[in-house]
Chains A and B, each alone.
Chain A
């Protein structure tokens, strides 16, 4: 019984982390049709920025309680700097090319960012555990969990609700939906598609960075942390259906639970259980769980 509870809790925590990252990936794909391979590097950038900011803050002897705001500020800053930089600087040039070309362009970006991070932050690892340690732990039955994990779950839920509200309840969100459905008609109706793209990519970058910033206190921030994250996020969005927000949520839960079950019961299959699930889902639903088949054009 305790095992199953542990699997459920661990799975939910892991799923929350995955969802924040996958949400950014899926919204960028949904609106712009770009599967962003550099998403993992943006995640790493968020983690590094958070580690530096919070680290400097704590070392300066300032009240550690404020570091939570700094985590968020780091994510927003990374989003506001790198989102427009990448979208205006590089992606804009290749719009209209094949989807697979977009994958290659963002793959090139991934390679560039990975080394750029190493050049700026060096190859040593960074620790900022204060925000994590500050909250203490809580006991659920026989198990002890850090309260910070609960905060992570809340942050993921907040992200999900916020995105849903933003997309379906605000004017800007409705413009976004129009662009998702038909880019050309939306443009013909006077929607500034270029601006929508810019905002979407910035938002996606911010979400990736937020995932990284929230992870930074729980791990050591090291080079290469984005490499594995990006393939995990891919698995999530492919399971849920590319471009679908509910898909990203369900995909995160499935992947999160499968992984934590694997860790608890069959640790030797942990690494590939996720990809096995992804392959199985694609076998049954070729476009993921939440995306309907498209009509073929002759």
Chain B
């Protein structure tokens, strides 16, 4: 049997640790972890895009599509809602990708922002979906475990942790594949990628769809965890928050987005507790500091530390 590489081991270890510690955690911590992991999925998609050299200020679009799709589906089991959310967001991403795949740099950022704002505008004006108030989402069961109560909450947490680990592992393998390695090449020099005989547009489009599916899964899981969805999920500041986590985590590892998301949610809980009016200030200032002093994100602290040990 082939030896498992370090990331896979770390992934398996953290999944096991999460699943084992779940029943012991207090309710707020379980909720915080569930939401963090769900949002980490969205950021994982952003990481994929950033490897391709693209920063999307519109991941809120797929996040909201996933959440609303899950909320509108008649299915009773959360697992099906999750699948539905992912597929719906992937389909929207495939459609938007037809256009988005032509753009780079700030034009890509702005156009993706425009798309998410279109959805926001639509949702706000759709009274059948609760306009600005949104509506409540409640799955009757999660992977056959009845929802609600401690068991339901743990089932959702386990489902989220599993989804996050599977997605991270899949992306980890994808990055090492032929197709996955084209992404940094596209970022570095598109024309040469074309000369090699690969289609830049297809690479970008594929990455967009994968990122969309991940954001949709994250959205559906967030909807199930929070129990409520509203158009704010598609607003550009939501997308900005995902970008913030991506910058904070860095693109070095598939584990980084989840770490970054947990750090953000922790920060948010404490900031809300102690100084609710300076929450954005804290986020903004830490983002500036990360960009200035840790351009490769929090994860680079680990690699530095490892180097220092050697």
Which A residues are within 8 Å of any B CB, using their own CB? 35, 90, 93-94, 99-101, 103-105, 107-116, 118-119, 123, 227, 231, 234-235, 238, 242, 268-273, 275-276, 278-279, 282-283, 286-287, 296, 298
Contacts and interface: CB of A to CB of B under 8 A. Distances in A.
Nearest to B103: A286
Given A35-B106, A94-B291, A269-B125, 11 more contacts: A104-B247, A107-B244, A108-B287, A110-B284, A112-B280, A112-B284, A112-B285, A116-B281, A234-B110, A279-B118, A282-B103
B55 interface: yes
B106 A107 contact: no
A196 B113 CA distance: 31
B118 A275 contact: yes
11 contacts: A94-B292, A111-B280, A111-B283, A111-B287, A112-B284, A114-B284, A115-B280, A115-B284, A116-B281, A275-B117, A298-B192
B288 A90 contact: yes
The CB with the most chain B CB atoms within 10 A, among A111, A235, A286, A298, is that of A111
A153 B267 CA distance: 45
Given A108-B287, A272-B118, A283 B279 contact: no
Nearest to B54: A100
Given A116-B281, A272-B122, A99 B114 contact: no
Contact of A115 (B121, B281, B287): B281
B120 A100 contact: no
Contacts of A105: 288, 291
B291 A103 contact: no
Contacts of B280: 111-112, 114-115
B106 A103 contact: yes
A282 B240 CA distance: 22
A272 B247 contact: no
A272 B125 CA distance: 10
Nearest to A114: B280
A116 B243 CA distance: 21
Contacts, number: 122
Contacts of A238: 107, 110-111, 114
B198 interface: no
Contacts of A107: 240, 243-244, 284, 287
Main secondary structure of the interface of A (DSSP, over half): helix
B105 A99 contact: yes
A261 to B, nearest CB: 15
Nearest to A268: B125
A282 B291 contact: no
A283 B99 contact: yes
Given A93-B292, A269-B125, A279-B115, A111 B281 contact: yes
B191 interface: yes
A286 B104 CA distance: 10
A161 B122 CA distance: 37
Closest 10 CB pairs of A and B: A272-B121, A111-B284, A271-B121, A115-B281, A112-B284, A108-B287, A275-B114, A111-B280, A108-B288, A272-B118
Nearest to A267: B125
A282 B303 CA distance: 41
B111 A104 contact: no
A100 B111 contact: no
Given A112-B285, A272-B120, A286 B102 contact: yes
Given A115-B280, A286-B102, A278 B114 contact: yes
B124 interface: yes
Interface in B88-141: 99, 102-103, 105-107, 109-111, 113-115, 117-122, 124-125
B278 interface: yes
Nearest to B116: A275
- From B119, B124, B189, B288, name the one whose CB has the most chain A CB atoms within 10 angstroms: B288
A235 B291 CA distance: 26
Contacts of B285: 108, 112
Contacts of A114: 280-281, 284
Nearest to B111: A282
A272 B57 CA distance: 17
Nearest to A37: B240
Contacts of A275: 114-115, 117-118, 121
A275 B105 CA distance: 19
Nearest to A116: B281
A70 B302 CA distance: 54
Contacts of B117: 231, 271-272, 275
Contacts of A296: 190-191
Nearest to A234: B110
A99 B125 contact: no
B269 interface: no
A115 B277 contact: yes
A234 B124 CA distance: 21
Nearest to A118: B277
A227 B102 CA distance: 27
